Amino acid sequence: MKNIPTQERLIAALDVPAAPEARALVQRLGDSVRFYKIGMELLMAPGFFELLDWLKAQDKKVFVDLKFFDIPETVARAVKNLSERGADFCTIHGNQSIMEAAARAKSGSTKVLAVTALTSLDQGDLDDLGFQVDVAELVLSRARRSLQAGCDGVVSSGLEVERLRREAPRELICVTPGIRPVENRVEADQKRIMTPAAAIRAGADYLVVGRPIRDAADPRAMAQAIQTEIAEALRAA
């Protein structure tokens, strides 16, 4: 098992329209969350990079989830800039040359994660997109290729993590979105989901949780409950 502080395994997604709302949620969550994800929605609002800098100043870890997909040189420059700002994780799409360029450009504590298959996609969606491959096979292939390219890990649904742990190198970092507490309803755009405890038992290193925390009557209490579930699953592993 990797030496990851238990409290850092929960990544709260700041899926809100603007930076002031993101700061307010971070302040409300207090010490219940140490790791945050900021993504495309906030990028399209003023203050994205100021928010990143503010989070780092609050001694928080930051996962910049923008899924870079462009020519290798452009992706490399984007990763380099994020590394210089202190981003801890960033995500990329693309082929081997894109992944290799991103891996070469990272520095400091920045980890590059390759996106495998979005949790909003199921087998029917992949068929529609022309991917004539099983979801699990696609995820495993992407994981192997990302490590060969020098990336640090992948973003993968919890449904594929157990097989990744059996067949991919143990040093692979696995960040798992689509995490839903048992009592949470299933959103229509998240098809491949898993509870926090099940994802940890399957071998996920980090869990990304957005709406269940953001939309809870008491976000801090929800985050603390998820932290407790993660800790109990780790003790039982």
Which among 2, 59, 61, 67 is annotated as catalytic? 67
78 C-beta neighbours (distance < 10 Å), count: 18
Residue 106 assigned ligand-binding role: no
60 is catalytic: no
| Residue 210 annotated in ligand binding | yes
Catalytic residue at 191?
no
**Is 232 flagged in the annotation as binding?**
no
148 is in an annotated binding site: no
Question: Is 65 one of the annotated active-site residues of the chain?
Answer: yes
CB 43 within 8 A of CB 69: no
190 labeled binding residue: yes
CA distance 198 to 20: 33
The reply to whether 80 sits in an annotated binding site is no
Is 119 annotated as belonging to a binding site?
Answer: yes
Task: Please indicate if the annotation marks 228 as binding a ligand.
Answer: no
Of 65, 58, 59, 55, nearest in space to 19 by CA: 55
Express the helix, strand and coil content of the chain in percent, nearest 5 each: 50, 15, 35
Dihedral in degrees, nearest 10, Cα atoms 87, 195, 151, 48: -20
Catalytic residue selected from 2, 56, 59, 65: 65
Catalytic residue among 56, 60, 61, 70: 70
Select from 179, 210, 223 the least CA-distant residue to 32.
223
Residues making up the annotated binding site are 15, 37, 65-74, 119, 180, 190, 210-211
> Which residue numbers are catalytic?
65, 67, 70
Residues making up the annotated binding site for substrate are 15, 37, 65-74, 119, 180, 190, 210-211
